[in-house]
Amino acid sequence: MALYEHVFLARQDITPQQVDGLVEQYKGVLEANGGKVGRVENWGLKSLTYRIKKNRKAHYVLMDIDAPAAAVHEIERQMRINEDVLRYMTIAVEKHEEGASAMMQKRDRDDRPRRDGDRPERGFGDRGPRPDRGDREDRPRRPREDRA
């Protein structure tokens, strides 16, 4: 049997208990078709980058699956039919990750790299004095192109 990671997004207006019901429903379909589900991570209600079927948020769920391809095709078919499922994605993997996924790991603010990289702190006026531009009044003014 092949190993898969399966993520699906459920509508924002269903309850977390209904999301758990969807997970149990799809677990049953996989087990009926000869597969089994490893870990299940409920990532919770998160904002979407863009609206999907008039939803701005969605419940995200990750499932580690060990099943034949026919079982995966069957849950994907049922997800296409279900109105509560907005999107799904199944990816074949070599082996399942140990421990929590990257979405579930809590990272401290100190662990993250700074946006500006390792540049030294720059304050206002650290560029040094401005070079002398000479008398500006002596030079003739050119008319701007949009005024001419």
Distance from C-alpha of 22 to C-alpha of 19, rounded to nearest angstrom:
5
Question: What gap in Å lies between CA 51 and CA 56, rounded to an integer?
Answer: 5
pTM: 0.69
CB 88 within 8 A of CB 7: yes
The region that residue 146 occupies, defined by phi over 0 for left and psi between -120 and 50 for alpha, beta otherwise, is alpha
Splitting the chain (148 residues) into consecutive groups of 10 residues, what average pLDDT does each group show? Answer: 92 94 94 92 92 94 94 94 94 86 70 62 63 69 69
